[in-house]
Structure 1
Amino acid sequence: MASMEKKHDFCCPFNPRRNALRKTSAEIVSEVRQSLRVQSTQRPFTPRDGHRQLFGQSSARASRDNRPPSTFSLHAQNFDAPDSRPSSGTRLSPLDHKPKLPAPCLSEDPLKAFPKPPTDPLETKRGLAGARARLLRAGSLTTLPPVERKTDVKDTLNPSPRQKQPSAKRLPSTDHSEVCSDPRKPGPRRAASESRVKQPGDDSGVRPTEHRAGQKTEVGTEDSTTSTEDDVEAVVWNDVIASLLQQLESVAAGSSAATVDRLCDLCEGLYSTLADADMLGRRCKRRLGILRTLFRLIDLNSAQLNLHIAKLCLALCVSGNNLLNICKLIFQIGRGESNDILFQNNSIIDSLLGILSSEDVTTSGEALLYCVGTLKFLSGNSAILRLLLDKNCMSIAKELIQRLCRVEDTHFTIAGHILVQLTATLRNLADHPDSRPLFVSFSVLSELCEVLRHHCKDQDICTNISRIYSKLSSYSECRLALAQTPNCYQLFLELLSKHHQKQDLVVRLLFTLGNLTAKSDDARQQLFQCEGCMDTLLQLYSDYQRRDLSPHWNGPPSPRKSCSPQEEDDVLVKLIRVLANMCIHPGVGPALAASTICIQLLMETLELRCVQESEELLVNVAATINNLSYYQKESSVLEHNQLTIAKLMLKLLLSSSMDAVLEATRVYGNLSQSKDVRDFIMQNQVHQFLVMLLDSKSTEVCFSACGVLTNLALDAPNRVSISLEGAAAKLVDCLKDLGPGDWQLAGQACQALWNMLGGGSEKLLSTEERESLLESLIMFSDEEEALRWIDNEDMRDYHKACWELEFLPVSQKLVGMLQPLEQAA
């Protein structure tokens, strides 16, 4: 008996091989069976904001920051009827209109004599009264003005001597200010100096006769072109537009149920007419009259009609205060979720995107803010989200981000407000699968890193971007694009340190880092080599540990009172996952295993938490300890505390959570290489529970349990105790039932049997059990028979490699030991 025990070659302690000289296909494909395991976790949940506001209730912006409001009232009186501000948004200084008296002249020069008062004062009074009456009738705002003179920015700000009161004169039809029944009939003619309408290119305050001093009143080429355009516009105005405006006025005065629908149809007709006549923008000479009519309709307070009005006003290129109010009007409509359908049936989204592309932050910052705020609301609708992607929203957003990052300090605050809305919109866009290639192709992920650098103190912006990264970093193409952004790891660590108190930001940045380090050795190394990496992560770990919840804690209370226990646990889950992934790198793992603070924090978590309340957290801690336990070196702090860890693992092993049981079993698989840990397992009857795990139909649980039993069977006194629990028979059943589908498990079961039956312990199996085991081993040793169980052709090579390398060598040794016993029997 003693001689047989000496000749028996026991299988090596259970510790799946790593960095073997010959790297097999099984080791490449089977990541789930590696000693060092990548940890996964759920993405942090972001509750939907039920209230559509510029800045939600969780915003870090306080009211003292003078942040723009989300609620306000708008009426027609809020709009500037003349719309006379220049398109650049720069308000010109008022002009000095002090009259200048002409120089004295000789009385003999009749042309330069002073004007004399009329000889009949009563006749003069009668003339003034008649002119005033005509002025009041023509300029009344209660009805649509039937006559409108072309009003331009320069005309309004710099009236010429003959244009002091444009509304007080009834200009002839040649000046496009009267609606004639027949535009071909000639009207009363005026002198050229009075009938010329100043073009936008003319100098302010210069009359045409002065501009062409010394020339005849002939019309040149440019003037003839302008005159032709004016004639065409006059025809369109007289034939169509004037009638539409009058109908808008008359319908608006009614009170029928179909009033709104009729007004919307008229607005659509007006828009189509202006577009067909190329009169949109500021090219329309009578846009003042159109805008006046549209502004008065706003008081009807119809969301459907107001969207049509806003579309027309934006098409007519309103600016300044009017642009701001139109954007506010659209924002007000967008706040109602029930109005989303109106935006789907209206091209107003194109107008909003046009504003984002063209308006300057320094002059129209607040208008941009409400414009992007509207898109933020609408992007929460899946149908509109698809529209935004089709309308090149991603490219426009990237260009706007670049402009906002170049804003100077004087407009930094409004740029930050806009970026809050823009990043929230991108966060919604990230939900759509089709957006992911666009985030990559337009380099938006890298641009967002630049935003983080410029606005690192703005918690709202940083939180929104962290949500984008946490969503997109779960996908390989986005993860690669983010990893290629220079210094992104250092940036994330700096944000974690700066905003360590803001849980929703911290947890998402950690989740992103966990995704980046999940499958990239380069990412693990780059993160570890960043300045202050471990100091930042371990300080966060300590801050969120919640030591004061333990009844044995006598230290100061936790400073983290703003978070719930579940939120603090969520931070630790994501943080420990980062540590577990980092230590897979062969250059990082030994450093973490030698960190006293790191190991102490992990053990402290095991001691403070219970499985029922913090299951995922404790599972991640066990997985990290399992990864660190691979580095069994003299510098390893874990090796010096492995007996303490073995005791702490009991709460996981004996819990009702199979995930916790599995991770604890894996830890025992590595720690049981130590004689002290094996003795602890046997003394506390842990081996009984391990044998029971062989009855579970989970290949992962059985594989880990077989590994621990393989190590326990290295000690001769343990073999009898394990066999008395029926371990040998259960191992045979495990081999027969699960082996053909998992040759790694079959090989591990054979290793456990080899160690248990060695040294004269063969009789621990009954004759029937030995015969059944030998029959199964001989059958499974045939390649054709072994691989016929594999239906998936793509995995056939993988299973063949596992069969050849993991199962067959140990199986042949077992057959060689059992056959002589059968022959002797």
Structure 2
Amino acid sequence: LVEACSELDSGADARQSETDGLELRSLLDSLIGASSRLKGTASVRRPRPDEDSNDSEHDVVLEESSHTANCEEATLACVFNLLDRIKARLKNTNFVVKDTNLYKDIVSTLLSLAACRRCPRLRLKVADLGISLRVKGANLIRVCKLIYRVSKEPENDELFIEDKSFSHHICGVLGDLNLFTGETRPLSPLIDVTRGQLSTALESLLYVCGALKFLAASSVTGSTFRTPSMLQALSSIHTTLESFSHDLDKRCAVETGGGFDVIAENIYYVLLQITEIFCVIASSNFNEDWKSLVVDSGVIKCVLRGLSQHNPQSPSPSIRNEVCLNWARVLAHATEHAFICSYLTEDALTDYCRDFVRLILLRSDEPDFVIRLAYALGNIAARCNDARSSIFSSRQVLKDICQLCQRYSIELRRNALSEGYFFPCFVLLK
């Protein structure tokens, strides 16, 4: 009886899958037809304001143009409806895995549709559907690029909150792009095997994180995209990529005599976007969610780990220095809050303080970095006894700091008449 019931269920599932596939094929055919009409309206000639013509001809052209615009609007509405119906059908079926040809046809049609119109709503709907289809490789890069292009324009912000599930879809993409999670840590022998896959993931991440940077900073979309789950996903990727970059740096030091690998450079471009988002979060107005976004999500731990493990003496392209500066910016903003300083006392604070002093001494010629890290150290020291003792952990450190202050004082006097030269003054103040 159990076997019979199982066979009946299996047969019913097969029939349902076939029905879903037929319905999706029908919707796709309709979408292809609507896309053709949309491409047709794009090629219709529009009148130019400076164009010479008699009144009757001009009226005819205007009438045709108006008719074309109305047709285009109606066709776009039809396309939007079809995209929504396809998405709804995909949500309730697992046919895609079984019907490879239909899957390829849908993806191809979507990307062609996005290319034929620079309509932000259309591009965002196409991208969302592409995410639902879990596109991979070059297609995923195209989808992520669409999201980035739409997010760059502030007037498009409202589009990102029309569909409440879109931010969850972006979180899912971040999870898929975190190639090395859990115990699958990226080791050097793995680099060659997965280089193509890693390049695709990094380019996709660059566009997604670039879009999130705009969306997190927007007053319209900020509350939707500044969520604990989003920050946890970004923190996880940050930790993974930063760890991977250390492995690559070691390999480059051995194999290229200190050269900088292209993959390593791309990793730092992604880290730059992620740390820009961290800066937005850390500098945002303090509210009841701030702690969950900055502390519980792992952002502060990412920043502390990045600064303490940073090696200023390794080959340092400007992109890497910008990432390090962002870490210092996050810490400077975060330590303005007393509870952050209390939190830090529970997490190897004295070691971190010694590392920060070391970085200030080694990067004393970088004003933006020194000012922010010195500001963070001042905030911590003002609230924590242990921090005060660990900042000057030895006579030698105290001597080095005093010598640095003397150097800044000399520079300040030497350049006192130079307009706009305030760096030594600000550093000495901190």
Which one-letter code corresponds to 2:202 in the other structure?
G
The residue correspondences of 1:76-115 to structure 2 (distance < 5 A) are none
Q: Residue 428 of structure 1 aligns with which residue? A: 280
1:680-715 Cα deviation digits (max 9, x unpaired): xxxxxxxxxxxxxxxxxxxxxxxxxxxxxxxxxxxx
Q: Residue 469 of structure 1 aligns with which residue? A: 331
Q: Residue 679 of structure 1 aligns with which residue? A: none
Structure 1 531/264 Cα, relative in aligned 2: closer, same or farther at 3 Å?
Answer: farther
The residue correspondences of 1:661-672 to structure 2 (distance < 5 A) are none
Which one-letter code corresponds to 2:89 in the other structure?
T
Q: Residue 392 of structure 1 aligns with which residue? A: 229
The residue correspondences of 1:614-693 to structure 2 (distance < 5 A) are none
CA drift at 1:442 = 3.9
CA distance in structure 2 between the partners assigned to 1:540 and 1:225 by the alignment: 77
CA distance in structure 1 between the partners assigned to 2:396 and 2:223 by the alignment: 42
CA drift at 1:302 = 1.4
The residue correspondences of 1:214-363 to structure 2 (distance < 5 A) are 229-238=13-22, 240-252=23-35, 253-254=37-38, 255=41, 256-279=72-95, 282=97, 285=100, 286-299=102-115, 300-346=117-163, 347-359=165-177, 360=179, 363=197
Check the 8 A contact 2:140/2:204 in 1, yes or no.
Answer: yes
1:707-739 Cα deviation digits (max 9, x unpaired): xxxxxxxxxxxxxxxxxxxxxxxxxxxxxxxxx
1:175-219 Cα deviation digits (max 9, x unpaired): xxxxxxxxxxxxxxxxxxxxxxxxxxxxxxxxxxxxxxxxxxxxx
1:8-40 Cα deviation digits (max 9, x unpaired): xxxxxxxxxxxxxxxxxxxxxxxxxxxxxxxxx
Check the 8 A contact 1:313/1:326 in 2, yes or no.
Answer: yes
Check the 8 A contact 2:158/2:220 in 1, yes or no.
Answer: no
Check the 8 A contact 2:341/2:380 in 1, yes or no.
Answer: yes
CA distance in structure 2 between the partners assigned to 1:470 and 1:541 by the alignment: 20
Check the 8 A contact 2:308/2:352 in 1, yes or no.
Answer: no
Q: Residue 521 of structure 1 aligns with which residue? A: 385
Check the 8 A contact 1:395/1:442 in 2, yes or no.
Answer: yes
Check the 8 A contact 1:493/1:536 in 2, yes or no.
Answer: no
Q: In the alignment, is residue 372 of structure 1 matched against residue 372 of structure 2?
A: no
CA distance in structure 2 between the partners assigned to 1:232 and 1:283 by the alignment: 13
Q: Residue 413 of structure 2 aligns with which residue? A: 547
1:161-182 Cα deviation digits (max 9, x unpaired): xxxxxxxxxxxxxxxxxxxxxx
Q: Residue 58 of structure 2 aligns with which residue? A: none
Structure 1 514/245 Cα, relative in aligned 2: closer, same or farther at 3 Å?
Answer: same
Q: Residue 304 of structure 2 aligns with which residue? A: 449
CA drift at 1:230 = 4.1
The residue correspondences of 1:372-771 to structure 2 (distance < 5 A) are 372-390=209-227, 392-407=229-244, 408-409=247-248, 411-430=263-282, 431-433=284-286, 434-457=289-312, 458-486=320-348, 487-529=351-393, 532-545=396-409, 546-549=412-415, 564-574=420-430
Which one-letter code corresponds to 1:248 in the other structure?
L
SS class of match (2:422): helix
Check the 8 A contact 1:439/1:478 in 2, yes or no.
Answer: no
Which one-letter code corresponds to 2:425 in the other structure?
D
CA drift at 1:391 = 5.7
Q: Residue 691 of structure 1 aligns with which residue? A: none
Structure 1 470/287 Cα, relative in aligned 2: closer, same or farther at 3 Å?
Answer: same
CA distance in structure 1 between the partners assigned to 2:242 and 2:228 by the alignment: 23
Structure 1 452/222 Cα, relative in aligned 2: closer, same or farther at 3 Å?
Answer: farther
Structure 1 334/284 Cα, relative in aligned 2: closer, same or farther at 3 Å?
Answer: farther
CA drift at 1:454 = 4.1
SS class of match (1:518): helix
Deviates more, 1:446-455 or 1:326-335: 446-455
CA distance in structure 2 between the partners assigned to 1:374 and 1:397 by the alignment: 13
CA drift at 1:519 = 2.7
CA distance in structure 2 between the partners assigned to 1:549 and 1:382 by the alignment: 41
CA drift at 1:234 = 2.0
1:614-653 Cα deviation digits (max 9, x unpaired): xxxxxxxxxxxxxxxxxxxxxxxxxxxxxxxxxxxxxxxx
CA drift at 1:432 = 4.1
> Which residues of structure 2 form unaligned runs of 5+?
42-71, 181-193, 249-260, 313-319
CA distance in structure 2 between the partners assigned to 1:462 and 1:223 by the alignment: 61
Q: Residue 257 of structure 2 aligns with which residue? A: none
CA distance in structure 1 between the partners assigned to 2:83 and 2:308 by the alignment: 46
Larger Cα-atom Rg: 1
1:221-273 Cα deviation digits (max 9, x unpaired): 999977654432221232x3223222222222143223333322221111011
CA drift at 1:304 = 0.9
Q: Residue 137 of structure 1 aligns with which residue? A: none
Q: Residue 123 of structure 1 aligns with which residue? A: none
Higher RCO by CA contacts (8 Å cutoff, separation 6 or greater): 1
Structure 1 534/350 Cα, relative in aligned 2: closer, same or farther at 3 Å?
Answer: same
Structure 1 246/403 Cα, relative in aligned 2: closer, same or farther at 3 Å?
Answer: same
Check the 8 A contact 2:341/2:383 in 1, yes or no.
Answer: no
Structure 1 438/296 Cα, relative in aligned 2: closer, same or farther at 3 Å?
Answer: closer
- Give percent identity, aligned residues only: 23
CA distance in structure 2 between the partners assigned to 1:415 and 1:531 by the alignment: 39
CA distance in structure 2 between the partners assigned to 1:436 and 1:448 by the alignment: 15
SS class of match (1:406): helix
CA drift at 1:472 = 1.0
1:655-681 Cα deviation digits (max 9, x unpaired): xxxxxxxxxxxxxxxxxxxxxxxxxxx
CA distance in structure 1 between the partners assigned to 2:14 and 2:112 by the alignment: 27
Check the 8 A contact 1:455/1:461 in 2, yes or no.
Answer: no
Check the 8 A contact 2:83/2:125 in 1, yes or no.
Answer: yes
CA drift at 1:521 = 2.4
Which one-letter code corresponds to 1:529 in the other structure?
S
Structure 1 432/262 Cα, relative in aligned 2: closer, same or farther at 3 Å?
Answer: farther
SS class of match (2:217): coil
Structure 1 308/279 Cα, relative in aligned 2: closer, same or farther at 3 Å?
Answer: farther
The residue correspondences of 1:167-206 to structure 2 (distance < 5 A) are none
CA distance in structure 2 between the partners assigned to 1:277 and 1:320 by the alignment: 23
TM-score (norm 1): 0.39
CA distance in structure 1 between the partners assigned to 2:404 and 2:420 by the alignment: 16
CA distance in structure 2 between the partners assigned to 1:275 and 1:528 by the alignment: 60
CA distance in structure 2 between the partners assigned to 1:447 and 1:250 by the alignment: 50
SS class of match (1:382): coil
CA distance in structure 2 between the partners assigned to 1:388 and 1:232 by the alignment: 37
CA distance in structure 2 between the partners assigned to 1:387 and 1:301 by the alignment: 25
CA drift at 1:384 = 2.4
CA drift at 1:441 = 2.8
Check the 8 A contact 1:307/1:348 in 2, yes or no.
Answer: no
CA distance in structure 1 between the partners assigned to 2:395 and 2:111 by the alignment: 59
CA distance in structure 2 between the partners assigned to 1:540 and 1:446 by the alignment: 29
Structure 1 454/336 Cα, relative in aligned 2: closer, same or farther at 3 Å?
Answer: farther
CA drift at 1:511 = 0.7
Q: Residue 47 of structure 2 aligns with which residue? A: none
CA drift at 1:491 = 1.5
How many residues are paired up?
343
CA drift at 1:565 = 2.0
Pairwise CA RMSD: 2.8
